[in-house]
Amino acid sequence: MKKLILSTIVMSIISITTHAQDLYKKSSVGIKGGYNLASAQFDGDSNVDQRHGFHVGFYNEIFLKERFSVQTELLYSQQGYKIETDNGDFTQKIDYLNLPISLKGYFTDNFYIEAGPQIGVAVSHKEEIDADFDFFDVTNDISPNDFDWGANIGTGFKFDSGINIGARYYFGLGKVYDEENQKNRVLQISLGYDF
C-alpha cells in the first residue's frame, strides 16, 4: 500500500512538473507594431475624424493553462483626433506610452480572443488649428491629462513560427481634457514576432 501511495505521489509530481514545463515553453517574449486608427468619443455637434498613426513595443505572454494566457505589453502609440467645423479644423495629436494587460483565450492552438485593462501616460502632445484663412493658422500648447485609462478587446492568430497578427479596439474611459468629455478610441492592427 505504501508503495502504491508513493508511486502515485511521484507520478503526480512528474505530471505537474511536465505540464508546468510545457506551459513555460509556450510562454514568450516578443516585439510588435502596426497601424493605429485613432479617434475620440465626443459630446457635441462637431464631426470627429480619425488620426492615422502607428504603435510599436514589446510584449510578454505567460500561459496559465493550456488555452489561457496573460499578455502584458509596453507600447508607444500615436493617438488623437480631428474636429472639422465651418470655421476650420482642429487636430489633436497625443502620443502615449501604454501598458495593456490582456487575458487571452485560445479557441484553437492558434486563434485567440483577448480583453483587459490599459493605462497610458501622455509623452507628447500637439494641437493644431487650421482656420479658413492662413493668418489664423496656429499651433497651441493646450495640455491634456497626463494619464489615460480604459479597456481593450480584440482577436488574433498566432502562427507556430511565432509570427502573430491581431486586431484590437481600445475604449478610453478617462477624459482627454478635464474641461471636456473627449475619450480616446483606437483601432489597432498589429504584427508581432516571438523571440
- Output the pLDDT for position 128: 80
More confident residue, 141 or 77: 77
Q: Per residue in 182-193, pLDDT tens?
A: 899 999 999 999
CB atoms < 10 A from the CB of 111, how many?
12
What is the pTM for the complete model shown? 0.81
Q: Per residue in 4-15, pLDDT tens?
A: 555 555 554 444
More confident residue, 79 or 141: 79
> For residue 116, is pLDDT > 50?
yes
**CA atoms of 119 and 60, how far apart (whole Å):** 16
Q: What would the mean pLDDT of 143-171 be, rounded to a whole number?
A: 95
Q: Per residue in 8-53, pLDDT tens?
A: 555 544 444 445 555 655 789 999 999 999 998 876 555 678 889 9
**CA atoms of 128 and 90, how far apart (whole Å):** 6
Q: Do residues 67 and 42 lie in contact, with contact meaning Cβ atoms separated by under 8 Å? A: no
Q: Map out the domains of the chain with their CATH numbers.
A: 27-132+142-194 (2.40.160.20)
Q: What would the mean pLDDT of 59-75 be, rounded to a whole number?
A: 94
Return the beta strands (E) in 1-110 as ranges. 28-41, 47-49, 51-63, 68-85, 88-106
Q: Per residue in 71-113, pLDDT tens?
A: 999 999 999 988 877 777 878 899 999 999 999 999 999 999 9
